[in-house]
């Protein structure tokens, strides 16, 4: 493999339409021989046309750069002789290969004879857990320098380095895994199959013993794993450090570099006392308190003392991982003894190895299926958890995952030959011996409200990011009934004369009469489903020209679907029940004959059982939409802008969960600590308390941030800015863009601008982009610049002069410490849009309850979001920065004072643009 000659190519072009008039403007090729980069050839090329502005922005290549460059035909023979007969490698190889072939053909060169290798595909297989497969992201991930992204010479070099890195990883994989990868790669185009075959042949000759970290079973290689038990027994001599002096001594002894914080010690005492007294506690811990350690330390002492698990719940899977990888090792170091912790997720997050093994025997040449199988084979040599969230699956891979996710066992678990190595059971066993069980809100609520429990019995819990807990509860009980998902289910089930589960069931149980009923029901369901969703699409079109949402029922307690829709939905539901009855019937038969069933038959029945559960879940959701009268629930239609049938969704949102949480969750637990940096509105816990459904006897504690906001921060309010309300968007964004450009020049960028509407962000971005006075600044904008919130944040931090424009996902959860962020701009107070169906329903419900909807819902929600946004600025004790609030309502209205009273005490200056820019200059000097 290392003796091969690879040509790693990257092109920059005037656009992405090779078939049309787009041309190459830069060519670069790295030559790899004997496993090393031996040479690189690069040249600009004159496309004989203007370079579009967006290409100039992306690549930094201007018309001046290519003006005196050769035409492609001038260098085509050199390029042809350089690359012909080698293995052609590129990142997204089809793009570069298509362009090069076209230019070669037009230059009159003979056809290239080359095998193709795509480093995107190779990266996906070799490193299935990487977050992004973009070239820049891979370079960052693996520490390769990439000085000039989107320049062919830099991109080709990085791609070549990555190729060698991936080939090295391939050599480390066990032979059994390589064998299966070789078989699967036959269904892929290009050189990859040959590459895997060569590695397999070499490993067959070497016959090296399997590494001790691995276990080979039934032809699959997985990591060895043992249930860990605490090395430090839960002894009686573990005493929680009660005084601040004892806590400080603990820090000094075991982690001297951590500074003792009085607020953090107060939080520790409050948590411990709440559990000892079996109380509920709400603790607002300001930025810099160190709230994670503030509850982890008392939690581990309480768990060891009582010999019980403490459940710690946070909002997202990402935060779960951060806690486990970062905070648990720190806790262990400070406590000075072993901490047994486990991250636990819902059952269907874990792979069922028996199902996966059987699917490997299935010949399915669909690209996403083949790629996903290959990714999972490599992943199984690395994972200790079997948690699919670790894997970066394609959208097709996510659909395929439904066939191998864990759903429990329909037949006896003893029928599963992988039972001893089952990931779900392993994680459950870990939880049973754990001191701390880290979950997310969704799993905590799902476990509590369902009959199929995942968590071991527990009485004490920490709910971090508690301002999201009611959202998580509503989401847990809200759902979507979509055309696309139903079509996916029906296609997978199939008919008697089409491939699918029904056809396979008929082969296994040829005389089972209910299968014929199911076949007829599916055919009728196709028509009934179409009728229902056509009606929904028509309703949306009749009601509004531009909107993609339409409320059908604001609250099912008071209203119901109109008659035509109700009967169309009921028709779909009755046919779904017929299919369910057939599935149940055949599963009963399968269970009766299970003793004589082959392994493949057992695996197939388990797949039918899993499918039946998903089908019944959708059936239950439609039942609730048609007949539910107990819960306060909103029903509305959603679609994309084109209103294509495949985009139509019927959404049901639970509006109120406080009574359910109080009655069924909080009363069931002995001690619950709820904490967040944003729980109070105007120093009051009243809103969050009502929203959560907590009784008045709850303990409340507000621990202010230890940071010196008076010295290190300013809130600046422009006095000469037009009011956002009542000013046309074009006029407002003109003034805003000009103002932001002026601020950027004073702060050297390092500015995060928070919007509440995509339209205003886009208009502001366009105006700033056209402003020549800030052309040295890089403007990143959510929805315009490519990349996720995390990726844009990373880019922003890496650039010297950058301005980042973001909407709602940037208001919380991002961490930009130090000099990378010196200026935060809040364009508009973050009230939820009144046209949003959920907001409308919440307001209607409050009015019905006799409340002032603005005071009891809209305002507190906006204040909490404002606090989250403000919290992006000062993340560390040494951080300094300014906050511009452009919405003049913050100090011209009575309600505006609630926003300013809810943030730390900070100097507030209201003045004209000239005066504020002087204030900025003075502050940073």
Say if residue 619 is in the same domain as residue 747: no
- Model pLDDT for residues 473-512, shown as the tens digit of each residue: 998 888 999 999 999 999 999 999 888 999 999 998 887 8
Say if residue 868 is in the same domain as residue 725: yes
Classify residue 75: in a domain, yes or no: yes
User: What integer pLDDT is reported at residue 233 of this predicted model?
Assistant: 46
Would you tell me how many other CB atoms lie within 10 Å of the CB of residue 419?
A: 14
pLDDT at 231 over 70: no
CB half-sphere exposure, 734, CA atoms < 13 A: 6
Classify residue 249: in a domain, yes or no: no
Task: Give the residue from 172, 197, 219 where a domain finishes.
Answer: 172
User: What integer pLDDT is reported at residue 572 of this predicted model?
Assistant: 97
- In sequence order, the 6+-apart residues with CB closer than 8 A to the CB of 313 are 438, 439, 440, 441, 443, 444, 461, 462, 463, 464
- Strand 280-285, strand 671-676: pairing: parallel
Classify residue 201: in a domain, yes or no: no
pLDDT at 77 over 90: yes
- In sequence order, the 6+-apart residues with CB closer than 8 A to the CB of 259 are none
- Model pLDDT for residues 515-565, shown as the tens digit of each residue: 999 999 999 999 999 999 999 999 998 887 778 889 999 998 888 899 999
Residue 629's SS3 state is: coil
806 is in an annotated binding site: no
Percent over 70 (pLDDT), the chain: 98
Say if residue 141 is in the same domain as residue 45: yes
286 is in an annotated binding site: yes
Q: What angle do CA 736, 739, 740 make, to 5 degrees?
A: 85
DSSP 317-328: HHHHHHIIIIIH
pLDDT at 783 over 90: no
Say if residue 800 is in the same domain as residue 894: yes
Say if residue 763 is in the same domain as residue 868: yes
Classify residue 138: in a domain, yes or no: yes
Distances (CA, A) of 528 to 392, 482, 541, 568, 861: 36, 14, 20, 7, 41
Element holding 116 (H helix, E strand): strand 115-118
User: What integer pLDDT is reported at residue 393 of this predicted model?
Assistant: 93
Assign 3 a pLDDT band (cuts: 50, 70, 90).
low
The whole model's pTM is what? Answer: 0.84
In whole angstroms, what is the distance from residue 138 CA to residue 135 CA? 5
Q: Which of 500, 511, 506, 474 is nearest to 607 (CA)?
A: 500
Instruction: Supply the CATH number for residue 51's domain.
Output: 3.30.420.10
CB half-sphere exposure, 856, CA atoms < 13 A: 14
User: What integer pLDDT is reported at residue 815 of this predicted model?
Assistant: 80
pLDDT at 372 over 90: yes
Classify residue 81: in a domain, yes or no: yes
DSSP code, position 888 = T
Would you tell me how many other CB atoms lie within 10 Å of the CB of residue 821?
A: 26
Say if residue 898 is in the same domain as residue 814: yes
Percent over 90 (pLDDT), the chain: 64
Assign 232 a pLDDT band (cuts: 50, 70, 90).
very low
914 is in an annotated binding site: no
Among 320-324, 614-618, 813-817, which stretch is predicted with the lowest mean pLDDT? Answer: 813-817
Q: Which of 473, 460, 443 is nearest to 669 (CA)?
A: 460
Element holding 891 (H helix, E strand): helix 889-892
Task: Give the residue from 620, 654, 688 where a domain finishes.
Answer: 654
Higher pLDDT, 649 or 792: 649
In whole angstroms, what is the distance from residue 860 CA to residue 857 CA? 6
- Model pLDDT for residues 345-364, shown as the tens digit of each residue: 888 899 999 999 999 999 99
Distances (CA, A) of 117 to 114, 189, 464, 715: 10, 9, 46, 54
Indicate the number of domains in the chain: 3
671 is in an annotated binding site: no
- In sequence order, the 6+-apart residues with CB closer than 8 A to the CB of 139 are 145, 146, 158, 162
Classify residue 455: in a domain, yes or no: no
| 551 beta partners | 636
R_g of the chain computed on alpha carbons: 30
User: What integer pLDDT is reported at residue 229 of this predicted model?
Assistant: 65
Say if residue 36 is in the same domain as residue 118: yes
- Model pLDDT for residues 94-119, shown as the tens digit of each residue: 999 999 999 999 999 998 889 999 99
Residue 696's SS3 state is: coil
DSSP 14-78: S-S-TTTT--EEEEEEEEEETTEEEEEEEEE---SSPPPHHHHHHH---HHHHHTSPPHHHHHHH
Q: Which of 473, 903, 852, 839 is nearest to 680 (CA)?
A: 903
- Model pLDDT for residues 200-210, shown as the tens digit of each residue: 999 999 888 99
pLDDT at 451 over 60: yes
Structural domain of residue 35, as residue ranges?
6-172
Residue pair 674/466 in contact (Cβ under 8 Å)? The answer is: yes
Place of tokens 């994989």: 173
In what side-by-side order are the strands of the sheet with 87-90?
36-44, 24-33, 6-13, 87-90, 115-118
Among 62-71, 225-234, 490-499, which stretch is predicted with the lowest mean pLDDT? Answer: 225-234
In whole angstroms, what is the distance from residue 897 CA to residue 890 CA? 6
Would you tell me how many other CB atoms lie within 10 Å of the CB of residue 595?
A: 9
Say if residue 650 is in the same domain as residue 715: no
pLDDT at 235 over 80: no
Task: Give the residue from 172, 203, 237 where a domain finishes.
Answer: 172
Over residues 572-594, mean pLDDT? 93
Classify residue 253: in a domain, yes or no: no
For every residue of 654-686, which 3-state class applies, written as one string?
A: ECCCHHHHHHHCHHHCCEEEEEECCCCECCECH
pLDDT at 269 over 50: yes
Q: Which of 782, 770, 779 is nearest to 799 (CA)?
A: 779
In whole angstroms, what is the distance from residue 101 CA to residue 777 CA? 37
Maximum distance among all alpha carbons in the chain? 87
User: What integer pLDDT is reported at residue 618 of this predicted model?
Assistant: 95
- Model pLDDT for residues 127-152, shown as the tens digit of each residue: 999 988 989 889 988 988 777 778 89
Instruction: Supply the CATH number for residue 794's domain.
Output: 3.40.50.300
pLDDT at 225 over 80: yes
Say if residue 715 is in the same domain as residue 631: no
Would you tell me how many other CB atoms lie within 10 Å of the CB of residue 235?
A: 9
Assign 383 a pLDDT band (cuts: 50, 70, 90).
very high
Among 269-278, 432-441, 809-818, which stretch is predicted with the lowest mean pLDDT? Answer: 809-818
Say if residue 753 is in the same domain as residue 887: yes
- Model pLDDT for residues 872-915, shown as the tens digit of each residue: 888 888 889 999 999 999 999 999 999 999 999 999 999 999 99
Say if residue 166 is in the same domain as residue 37: yes
Say if residue 794 is in the same domain as residue 646: no
Element holding 101 (H helix, E strand): helix 93-106
Over residues 751-768, mean pLDDT? 93
End-to-end CA distance of the chain: 59
| 511 class by beta-carbon count within 10 Å (0-12 exposed, 13-18 middle, 19+ buried) | exposed
Classify residue 731: in a domain, yes or no: yes
User: What integer pLDDT is reported at residue 136 of this predicted model?
Assistant: 85
In whole angstroms, what is the distance from residue 279 CA to residue 264 CA? 20
Helices 599-627 and 483-493 meet at what angle, rounded to 10?
150
């Amino acid at each position: 493999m290392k003796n091969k000659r690879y040509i790693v190519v990257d092109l920059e072009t005037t656009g992405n339409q090779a078939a049309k008039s787009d041309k190459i403007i830069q060519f670069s090729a790295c030559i790899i021989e004997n496993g090393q980069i031996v040479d690189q050839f690069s040249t600009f090329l004159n496309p004989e046309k203007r370079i579009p502005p967006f290409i100039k922005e992306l690549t930094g290549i201007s018309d001046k750069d290519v003006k005196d460059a050769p035409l492609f035909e001038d260098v085509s023979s050199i390029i042809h002789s350089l690359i012909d007969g080698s293995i052609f490698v590129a990142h997204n190889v089809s793009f570069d290969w298509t362009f090069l072939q076209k230019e070669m053909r037009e230059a009159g060169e003979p056809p290239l004879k080359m095998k193709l290798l795509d480093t995107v595909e190779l990266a996906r297989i070799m490193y299935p857990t990487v977050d992004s497969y973009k070239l820049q992201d891979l370079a960052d991930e693996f520490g390769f320098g990439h000085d000039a992204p989107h320049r062919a010479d830099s991109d080709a070099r990085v791609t070549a380095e990555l190729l060698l890195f991936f080939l090295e990883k391939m050599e480390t994989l066990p032979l059994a895994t390589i064998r299966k990868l070789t078989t699967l790669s036959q269904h892929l185009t290009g050189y990859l199959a040959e590459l895997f075959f060569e590695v397999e042949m070499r490993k067959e000759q070497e016959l090296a013993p399997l590494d001790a970290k691995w276990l080979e079973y039934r032809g699959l290689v997985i990591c060895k794993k043992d249930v860990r038990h605490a090395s430090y027994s839960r002894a009686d001599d573990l005493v929680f450090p009660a005084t601040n002096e004892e806590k400080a001594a603990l820090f000094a002894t075991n982690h001297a570099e951590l500074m003792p914080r009085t607020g953090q010690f107060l939080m520790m005492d409050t948590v411990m006392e709440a559990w000892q007294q079996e109380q509920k506690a709400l603790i607002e811990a300001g930025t810099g308190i160190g709230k994670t350690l503030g509850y982890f330390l008392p939690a581990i002492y309480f768990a060891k003392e009582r010999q019980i698990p403490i459940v710690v719940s946070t909002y997202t899977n990402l935060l779960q991982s951060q806690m486990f990888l970062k905070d648990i090792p720190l806790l262990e170091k400070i406590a000075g003894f072993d901490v047994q912790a486990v991250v636990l997720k819902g059952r269907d997050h874990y792979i069922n190895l028996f199902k996966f093994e059987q699917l490997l025997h299935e010949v399915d040449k669909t690209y996403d299926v083949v790629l996903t199988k290959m990714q999972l084979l490599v992943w199984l040599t690395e994972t200790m958890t079997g948690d699919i969230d670790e894997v970066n699956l394609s959208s097709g891979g996510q659909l395929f995952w439904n066939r191998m996710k864990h759903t429990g066992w329909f037949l006896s678990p003893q029928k599963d030959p992988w039972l001893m190595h089952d990931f779900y059971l392993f994680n459950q066993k870990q939880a049973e011996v754990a001191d701390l069980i880290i979950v997310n809100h969704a799993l905590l609520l799902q476990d509590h409200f369902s009959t199929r429990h995942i968590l071991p019995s527990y009485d004490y819990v920490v709910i971090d990011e508690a301002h999201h807990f009611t959202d998580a509860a509503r989401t847990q009980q809200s759902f979507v009934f979509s055309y696309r998902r139903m079509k996916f289910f029906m296609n997978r089930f199939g008919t008697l004369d089409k491939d699918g589960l029904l056809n396979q069931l008929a082969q296994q149980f040829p005389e089972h009469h209910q299968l014929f009923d199911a076949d007829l029901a599916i055919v009728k369901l196709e028509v009934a489903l179409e009728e229902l969703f056509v009606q929904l699409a028509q309703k949306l079109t009749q009601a509004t020209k531009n909107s993609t949402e339409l409320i059908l029922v604001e609250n099912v307690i008071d209203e119901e679907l109109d008659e035509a829709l109700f009967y169309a939905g009921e028709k779909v539901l009755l046919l779904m029940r017929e299919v369910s009855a057939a599935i149940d019937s055949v599963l009963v038969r399968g269970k009766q004959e299970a003793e004589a069933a082959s392994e493949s038959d057992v695996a197939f029945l388990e797949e039918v059982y899993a499918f039946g559960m998903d089908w019944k879940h959708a059936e239950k959701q439609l039942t609730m939409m048609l007949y539910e009268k107990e819960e306060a629930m909103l029903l509305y239609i959603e679609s994309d802008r084109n209103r294509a049938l495949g985009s139509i969704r019927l959404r049901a949102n639970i509006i109120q969960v406080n009574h359910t949480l109080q009655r069924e969750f909080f009363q069931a637990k002995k001690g619950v600590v709820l904490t967040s940096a944003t729980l109070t509105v105007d120093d009051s816990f009243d809103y969050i308390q009502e929203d959560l459904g907590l009784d008045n006897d709850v303990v409340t504690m507000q621990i202010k941030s230890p940071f010196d906001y008076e010295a290190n921060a300013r809130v600046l309010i422009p006095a000469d800015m037009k009011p956002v309300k009542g000013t046309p968007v074009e006029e407002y964004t003109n003034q805003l863009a000009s103002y932001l450009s002026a601020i950027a020049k004073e702060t050297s960028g390092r500015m995060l601008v928070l919007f509440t509407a995509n339209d205003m962000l886009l208009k502001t971005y366009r105006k700033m982009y056209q402003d020549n006075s800030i052309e040295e600044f890089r403007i990143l904008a959510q929805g315009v610049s490519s990349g996720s919130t995390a990726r844009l944040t990373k880019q922003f931090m890496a650039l010297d002069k950058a301005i980042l424009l973001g909407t709602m996902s940037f208001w919380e959860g991002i961490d930009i410490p130090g000099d990378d962020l010196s200026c935060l701009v809040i364009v508009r107070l973050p009230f939820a849009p009144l046209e949003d169906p959920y907001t409308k329903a919440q307001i209607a419900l409050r009015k019905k309850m006799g409340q002032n909807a603005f005071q009891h819902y809209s305002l507190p929600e906006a204040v909490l979001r404002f606090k989250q946004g403000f919290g992006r600025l000062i993340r560390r004790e040494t951080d300094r920065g300014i906050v511009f609030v452009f919405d003049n309502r913050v100090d011209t209205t009575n309600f505006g004072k609630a926003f300013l009273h809810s943030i730390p005490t900070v100097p507030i200056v209201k003045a004209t643009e000239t005066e504020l820019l002087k204030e900025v200059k003075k502050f940073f000097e």
